[in-house]
């Protein structure tokens, strides 16, 4: 398995993107939980879903577990893991095609 310089660069950019968006997913769950407890302005559910959808599903899922946030919402129980599975499949497809 050998990778060209341009493939390595694309992979590096993708990994950096995934790291950032997953940190955003994780932290947004923590921030929203803190705001919920304080009865402050909340992050919209569609924003939380969007972050997970664009690649932050692992961070969002970990945030749900660590902060015990949105764990009883059926839509979060289903969609966040579904996004993660789809993103893993896309990742495998992307790596195989390199």
Decide: pTM greater than 0.75. yes
**3-state class percentages of the chain: helix first, strand second, coil last, to nearest 5:** 80, 0, 20
Residue ranges, the chain, pLDDT below 50:
none
Q: Is residue 79 part of a domain?
A: yes
Domain count, the chain: 1
Domain hosting residue 52, numbered range: 19-97
- Does some domain include residue 50? yes
Give domain status of residue 73, yes or no.
yes
Digit-coded pLDDT (tens) for 9-24: 998 999 999 999 999 9
Phi, psi of 71 (to 5 degrees): -75, -20
């Amino acid at each position: 398995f050998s990778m060209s310089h341009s493939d390595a660069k694309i992979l590096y950019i993708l990994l950096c993107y995934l790291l950032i968006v997953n940190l955003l997913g994780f932290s947004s769950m923590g921030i929203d939980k803190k705001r919920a407890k304080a009865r402050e302005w909340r992050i919209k559910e569609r924003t939380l879903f969007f972050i997970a959808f664009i690649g932050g599903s692992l961070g969002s899922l970990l945030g749900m577990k660590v902060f015990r946030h949105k764990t009883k919402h059926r839509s979060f129980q289903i969609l966040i893991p579904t996004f993660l599975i789809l993103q893993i499949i896309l990742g495998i497809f992307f790596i195989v095609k390199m």
